[in-house]
Structure 1
């Protein structure tokens, strides 16, 4: 059974979902934009049923109890700090870390900066930040794909995305995510201050900020129909992992892997964890 949790930290209280025995091997799952912890519903339930202790928080800005109003408070150091603070509150000295989209970016930085805290890393969709930065500089295709990051820092983005019952926000999901899930994401981001908080991740952070190679065992999952991240950065990611590395390419799936291909995502994750 999936539980609803409240996790107090020095930054505030994070809402979360969790499953599995309290003494199970700990797995923390981080969502991206514009979703929430529930994008991991299937994975949390599957992991819990297999004896893991899986927890997925609504991250900074998505949890009402941790919603700073200043964009600078959404920098990568604050986001990584949240990961460690949540793990500390859960009494997890070492844990497996999983992330999708922005959650994967945070996970890459956490793995690079705090390898002693992680048993393994699973990054979904988002390549290693250094590989992405290089691709943005040298690959015209990735440069074009990444223009939205600059555009979304504009002050009118909130209104544009939420107008007409979140029409522009809904289009981001490319009709690949179930309507009920999209309704949930739009409803949550329509809360006062929530969309601004989510966009502040883009306003405070910069994709490809300096990050070292990752030494922990890593699986990177990339889908061929991802409109955000192209093959250049995806294939280069292996050069930024010095530890055991597995690259899993998924055919005919969009950027929204945890939602669109939930059973496949869960099976890949379980297989990765089972050998670590």
Structure 2
């Protein structure tokens, strides 16, 4: 795994890359409060199987792509970043993987670019329309999502999260990820402006548009001990997939699936990728 700077019209994105340059492309999107490092176990396995993997630090997490205004973190802009990054990498089509906020971006990207996204894998985050439905109908999901509203306060949220050696930020990981990774995330988000940029994802407002069903082959992985997303939204997600769909439930695993259950996720991800086509084909989506 090496580090790469990817220059786009919107800024420079730092990324971890691995695997043979001509391998089948896979883009992996992290969430809050993490970086592309969250995928290190998946990157190693995919690269060993011949895939070319890139895991960028997304907008706000990369110092070279860190605008100050909250409106510069709208979903349409985040999707444009994915397109710009893959354009710069020379990937006409690619497999897309996302977790947490990266999962949300992945859903929207696959909906907007079905001709480029070969397969979709989303970990934890339900389809946006499924989440919207359960926020209206399910009290449990409304309670789980309350933090999204609380974190919009500024600068109170940043100050609270970073005080006492970032004790509140560290508590978010719930002891489910390696200590070295937690330290790396805290150090990264303690850079001037970094945490504000990451929280701007919550402050950018509603997406400027609507998302429909997903047509590409989709793997959705949800875990029963996820504190952010409940079973109602997870089950509802299947109503928004038109293409081949696989729903996997991980019993007793928290929100931090890529680091808490890496072997299981790696197995599911490899099987999903291998099931849906060889590199260079877009027709085989069944």
> Shorter-normalised TM-score: what interval?
over 0.9
Q: 1:90 — aligned with what?
A: 89
Paired with 1:208 and 1:105, the residues of 2 have a C-alpha distance of 14
Q: 2:112 — aligned with what?
A: 113
CA RMSD of superposed structures (Å): 1.1
- Kindly state the Cα deviation for residue 23 of structure 1 after the two structures are TM-superposed: 0.4
Paired with 1:33 and 1:206, the residues of 2 have a C-alpha distance of 18
Paired with 1:141 and 1:201, the residues of 2 have a C-alpha distance of 23
Preserved CA contact (<8 Å) 1:224 1:250: yes
Q: 1:173 — aligned with what?
A: 173
What are structure 1's unaligned runs of at least 5 residues?
A: none
Preserved CA contact (<8 Å) 2:32 2:100: yes
* Cα deviation digits, residues 227-252 of structure 1 (max 9, x gap): 10000000010000000000010111
Q: 2:45 — aligned with what?
A: 46
What are structure 2's unaligned runs of at least 5 residues?
A: 277-286
Q: 2:284 — aligned with what?
A: none
Matched, 1:233 2:233: yes
Preserved CA contact (<8 Å) 2:108 2:211: yes
Paired with 1:183 and 1:236, the residues of 2 have a C-alpha distance of 35
Question: More displaced, 108-117 or 207-216?
Answer: 207-216
Q: 2:152 — aligned with what?
A: 153
Q: 1:164 — aligned with what?
A: 164
- Kindly state the Cα deviation for residue 206 of structure 1 after the two structures are TM-superposed: 3.4
Change (3 A) 1:208 1:133: farther
* Cα deviation digits, residues 206-239 of structure 1 (max 9, x gap): 3897311000000000000001000000001000
Aligned residue-pair number: 275
Secondary structure at 1:171's aligned position in 2? Answer: helix
Preserved CA contact (<8 Å) 1:133 1:207: no
Q: 1:206 — aligned with what?
A: 206
Question: More displaced, 103-112 or 200-209?
Answer: 200-209
Question: More displaced, 205-214 or 157-166?
Answer: 205-214
Paired with 2:31 and 2:185, the residues of 1 have a C-alpha distance of 11
Paired with 1:210 and 1:148, the residues of 2 have a C-alpha distance of 23
Q: 1:62 — aligned with what?
A: 61
Task: Give runs of aligned pairs for residues 1-40 of structure 1, distance below 5 A.
Answer: 2-40=1-39
Q: 1:191 — aligned with what?
A: 191
